[in-house]
Amino acid sequence: MPNELETISTVESKSVNNLTDSFNREHSYLRISLIEKCNLRCTYCMPAEGVTLSPPDSIMSATEVLEIAKTFVASGVTKIRLTGGEPLLRKDFETIYNGLTKLPAEIGITTNAVLLDKYLPLFKEKEMKSINISLDTLSKKKFHEITRRDQFDRVMNNIYATLNAGIQPRINVVLLRDFNENEINDFIELTKDMPLIIRFIEFMPFEGNEWKTEKLVSLASILQNVGEHFGGANIERIQDKPNDTSKNYRIKGFNGSFSVISTVTNPFCDSCNRIRLTANGTIKNCLFSDGEVNILEPFRKNEAIMPIVKMALGEKHKMRGGMDTLEQFSDPKKNQANRSMILIGG
């Protein structure tokens, strides 16, 4: 097999996107989960009893990740996000990242930041496009409660280290009623002096995460809460970018901004450009679809994978994996059929 790091540099950016679904949505954003394991145990992401891991030999190797990513870029993918599990737990993370930076695509990462300090020099050198850091609370005690691990100080220090390295991180906050909705304004206060982007994310249902509609915090109630604290007239709407999944805001005069990602109550399916590759080499055409198509096995047999990817995209539903209404979405038989987020890669 040719050396993947040599062949990768020969892929050129494609203006034509071959990854269109039956609703004419072009898929230019690939999210690759690198690992099923994690050093935290967030309650909304994985059940207390843990998850059944795939056999180690069915997880993509670094070479496989790079070769498969190259094929996607040749088909029109222009943006890749690395996720997991915790992507920085991969021993060969640096090899994967270095290889991907040779592709004509923007690379981003979503991380819990526990190990981020180790990689900041590399990210700075290679101009990492985007770092999303998950942090659901500003209380050390509540952090332990939600992640079942005692890593709050490390995560906070690594957020400051990221800012000091001149990188503007986005902070992902999964909002849960009666857990952290009372911290919304504290998070936004951080954006006064720091150029942080705080992203409030609606809690989504996955196998074993005890999702209930009542745990959702709506966009309207977030804005009301923020308006009462900062004054409604001080909330500025920021223009969304194409394919943006969030509604973006800023408090007048503040350095950073905040946004709301209402995947459940106000989905952005119409402009969805995302496709997911799980750590064990399956394609998920939607975060909410329970169907997965394996491309790693055919890849290992030297079979063409793009026809399989296109077939999977052809089956993509118009909305939320086929759960068109909130009633359907709230049905545990439907919403709990999806593997835990830690296995899919958020």
Task: Name the site residues for ligand SF4 (rule: CB under 6 A).
Answer: 38, 40-42, 45-46, 84-86, 112, 134, 341-342
CB of 344 to ligand SAM, least distance (A): 7
User: Which of ligand SF4, ligand SAM, none interacts with 46 (beta carbon under 5 to 8 A by kind)?
Assistant: ligand SF4
Q: Considering CB distances under 5 to 8 angstroms, the limit depending on partner class, which of ligand SAM, ligand SF4, none binds residue 137?
A: none
> For the sheet containing 79-83, what is the strand order?
235-238, 247-251, 257-261, 197-202, 170-175, 130-134, 106-111, 79-83, 29-33, 274-277, 282-284, 293-294
Give, for 278, the enclosing helix (H) or strand (E). Answer: none
Closer residue to ligand SF4 (CB): 81 or 102: 81
Alpha carbon distance 326, 340 (integer Å): 20
Closer by beta carbon to ligand SAM, 8 or else 34: 34
Distance CA 284, CA 217 (A): 27
Q: Which is nearer to ligand SAM, 100 or 174 (CB)?
A: 174
Type of residue numbered 173: V
41, interface contact from ligand SAM, ligand SF4, none, CB < 5-8 Å by kind: ligand SF4
Q: Minimum distance between the CB of residue 114 and ligand SF4, rounded to whole angstroms?
A: 8
Taking the least distance from each CB to ligand SAM, the nearer of 107 and 342 is 342
The partner in contact with residue 203, picked from ligand SAM, ligand SF4, none with C-beta cut-offs of 5 to 8 angstroms by kind, is ligand SAM
How far apart are alpha carbons 233 and 219 in whole angstroms? 17
67 binds, among ligand SAM, ligand SF4, none (CB under 5 to 8 A by kind): none
Q: Which is nearer to ligand SF4, 46 or 277 (CB)?
A: 46
Residue 93 near which of ligand SF4, ligand SAM, none (CB within 5-8 Å, type-dependent)? none
Residue 15 CB, shortest distance to ligand SF4, in Å, is: 35
Binding site for ligand SAM (CB under 6 A): 38, 44-45, 83-84, 86, 110-112, 134, 172, 174, 201, 203-204, 206, 209, 341-342, 345-346
Distance CA 329, CA 331 (A): 5
Which residue number, 211 or 299, has a Cβ lying nearer to ligand SAM? Answer: 211
**CA neighbor of 141 nearest in space, from 132, 150, 154:** 150
Residue 280 interacting partner from ligand SF4, ligand SAM, none (CB closer than 5 to 8 Å by kind): none
Question: How many other C-beta atoms are found inside a 10 Å radius of the C-beta of residue 231?
Answer: 11
Cβ-based nearer residue to ligand SAM, 75 or 132: 132
Return d(Cα 167, Cα 123) in angstroms, integer.
9
Nearest alpha carbon to residue 161 among 191, 120, 210: 120
Q: How far apart are CA 208 and CA 142, in angstroms?
A: 21
CB of 103 to ligand SAM, least distance (A): 21
How many residues in total does the chain contain?
346
The least CB distance from residue 204 to ligand SAM, in Å, is 4
Q: How far is the CB of 216 from ligand SAM (least distance, A)?
A: 10
Residues in CB range of 26: below 8 A, 6 or more apart: 17, 19, 20, 76, 273
Q: Which of ligand SF4, ligand SAM, none has residue 206 at its interface (CB below 5 to 8 Å by kind)?
A: ligand SAM
198 DSSP β-pair partners: 171, 258
Among candidates 58, 80, 54, which has minimal Cα distance to 69? 80
